[in-house]
């Protein structure tokens, strides 16, 4: 499954010079993230993982079937057979001999460790070290015995999950009570875009893509509408057709009468902005032992080259604002490339899920938000951006 929203880059949002404000929203049947066949370091149990990943542990596809130490990521039993190494009765990694965790020890990531005083089996809230707390405050948010999370500044803790403030998670507008009015629910009474405060339109206007546009202009304009004014729709500062809201084209793009298309000779940087990660995999298994939070990083492979962001520790709401590719051509970005969300672990990093995408024809100079999942389960939602190279 996938979903893409295209956002224009302007300044002054989320404390970053790379800021996302919805101006153009596209629903695409191609160019979305798509599931690919399993292959990679250690997958999350979902159906889709990367076929392009690189790394020391990436060639261990047959570990589960191995009956010798060759390629075994788990532990070896007395007969030399490879076991997963993740249970108390047979614990271990890297083809070492399986050990039995005794007394109050338990197997966690291939190592026998003392059983924590606080764990999912004994805590309904979240675990703050050895203490089980309610998990309903921003400084210690969580549920079902997971590791307590500290919510981002301005966020809230709702039902044991950190929530970003409305302005940082809403593609529509935000009410006075911090409720997000999604784009499909916008109206003349509640209009706005990308988390701005909702406002009303005049009685002779309609709310289109979060902007109040004259009803007469929408009905009669062959170009684009700027409020109640119909413009030709062929200028970089006012681009669009068939009564659409006038769009200002980003640097490196030009108005082709339909939208803002990239200059074929332009070069672009790819920036990884932020993400939201599911608290478990599709089988409801925590990413880390005893309800531990993941340490996510992003891996992207384009035209045979792989780059990664830094890892962000113990969070479901990682933020990077990292440029990981620079000087990419339009043609390269419009080819298919893979994106993986990976959980950094002590022994083997775990691929949460991998999908493939391209930058759509009118998506250059914008931020792209996409969801990657397996069936109906969404593993992660990632926001990336293309920015005109300065070279």
Distance, CA of 112 to CA of 307 (rounded, Å): 34
Which of 20, 27, 35, 3 lies closest to 356 in space, CA to CA? 35
Q: Decide if 303 is inside a domain.
A: yes
Q: How does residue 11 score in pLDDT terms, banded at 50, 70 and 90? A: very low
If asked whether residues 47 and 96 sit together in one domain, one would say no
| Residue 314 is assigned to a structural domain of this protein | yes
Helix (H, G, I), strand (E, B) or coil at 330: helix
- Give the pLDDT score at 68: 58
Q: Give me the phi and psi of 327, to 5 degrees please.
A: 70, 35
- Please indicate, yes or no, if residue 322 is contained in any of the structural domains: yes
Does residue 366 share a domain with residue 297? Answer: yes
Work out how many domains the chain is built from and give that number. Answer: 2
Distance CA 238, CA 256 (A): 11
- Between CA 373 and CA 385, with CA 379 as vertex, the angle to 5 degrees is 85
374 belongs to a structural domain: yes
Indicate the helix (H) or strand (E) that contains 111.
Answer: strand 111-114
Average pLDDT over residues 148-172: 90
Q: What CATH number is attached to the domain comprising 291? A: 2.60.40.150
Mean pLDDT of the chain: 83
Residue 15 and residue 88 in one domain: no
The answer to whether residues 159 and 150 touch, using CB atoms and an 8 Å cutoff, is: no
- Which DSSP letter does residue 40 get? S
Q: Which residue has the higher pLDDT, 55 or 165?
A: 165
Statement: the pTM of the whole predicted model exceeds 0.95: no
* pLDDT tens-digit map of 246-298: 999 999 999 998 899 999 999 999 999 999 999 999 988 888 888 889 999 99
């Amino acid at each position: 499954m996938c979903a893409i929203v295209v956002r224009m880059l302007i300044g002054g949002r989320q404390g970053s010079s790379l800021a996302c404000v919805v101006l153009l929203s596209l629903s695409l049947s191609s160019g979305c993230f798509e599931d690919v066949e399993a292959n990679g370091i250690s997958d999350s149990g979902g159906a889709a993982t990367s076929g392009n990943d690189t790394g020391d542990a990436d060639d261990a596809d047959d570990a589960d079937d191995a009956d010798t130490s060759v390629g075994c990521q788990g532990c070896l039993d007395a007969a030399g057979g490879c076991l997963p190494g993740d249970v108390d009765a047979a614990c271990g990694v890297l083809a070492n001999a399986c050990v039995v965790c005794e007394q109050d020890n338990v197997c966690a990531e291939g190592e026998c460790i003392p059983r924590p005083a606080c764990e999912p089996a004994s805590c309904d809230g979240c675990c703050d070290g050895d203490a089980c707390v309610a998990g309903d405050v921003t400084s210690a948010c969580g549920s079902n015995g997971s590791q307590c999370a500290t919510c981002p500044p301005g966020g809230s803790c709702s039902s044991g999950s950190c929530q970003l403030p409305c302005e940082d998670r809403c593609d529509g507008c935000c009410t006075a009570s911090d409720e997000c009015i999604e784009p499909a629910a916008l109206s003349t009474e509640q209009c706005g875009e990308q988390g701005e405060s909702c406002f009303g339109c005049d009685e002779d206007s309609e709310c289109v893509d979060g902007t109040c546009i004259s009803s007469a202009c929408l009905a009669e304009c062959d170009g684009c509408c700027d409020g109640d004014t119909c413009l030709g729709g062929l200028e970089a500062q006012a681009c669009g057709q068939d009564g659409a809201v006038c769009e200002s084209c980003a640097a490196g793009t030009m108005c082709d009468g339909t939208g803002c298309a990239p200059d074929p000779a332009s070069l672009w940087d790819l920036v990884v902005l932020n993400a939201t990660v599911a608290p478990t995999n599709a089988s409801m298994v925590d990413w880390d032992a005893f309800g531990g939070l993941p340490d996510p990083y992003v891996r992207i492979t384009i035209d045979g080259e792989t780059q990664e962001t830094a890892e962000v520790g113990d969070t479901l709401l990682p933020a990077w604002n990292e440029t990981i590719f620079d000087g990419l051509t339009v043609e390269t970005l419009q080819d298919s490339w893979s994106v993986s969300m990976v959980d950094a672990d002590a022994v083997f990093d775990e691929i949460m899920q991998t999908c493939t995408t391209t930058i759509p024809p009118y998506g250059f100079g914008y931020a792209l938000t996409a969801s990657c999942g397996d069936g109906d389960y969404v593993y992660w939602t990632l926001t990336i951006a293309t920015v005109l190279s300065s070279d």
